[in-house]
Amino acid sequence: MDIWEKLERYGVDLEGALTRVLGDRELYLECIQDFLQENSYNRLKECMAVGDYEEAIAPAHALKGVTANLGITPLNEKIVVVLEALRGGKREHLQEQYEAFCKEMETFQKLLL
């Protein structure tokens, strides 16, 4: 199975994502790699580890935007829930929601290995 089949099976909106990069598949894969190396995920982990929920909003927002633009729907759906909880101060289930996002992120990372 090639990378495109893996991404599609995972639930990536390839049609929408490729439209945003004018159909340039190589550029899209570069954007995926940039996303995986970008610091927002690590920054979110740092903020959540120390309970700094106000500071966690910025990296969560960045992750929301990147996952939406790249069409990574399963990740985007999870981070949207986390971001809404952070912004709304609804922290009753925040840790569970955050852990679900992290698990989804690990699944996505493994997909690309």
User: What is the distance, to the nearest Å, from the Cα of residue 63 to the centroid of all Cα atoms in its chain?
Assistant: 5
What tens digit of pLDDT does each residue of 61-102 get? 999 999 999 999 999 999 999 999 999 988 899 999 999 999
Work out the average pLDDT over 49-67: 97
The Cα–Cα gap between 104 and 98 comes to 10
* Predicted TM-score of the model (pTM): 0.93
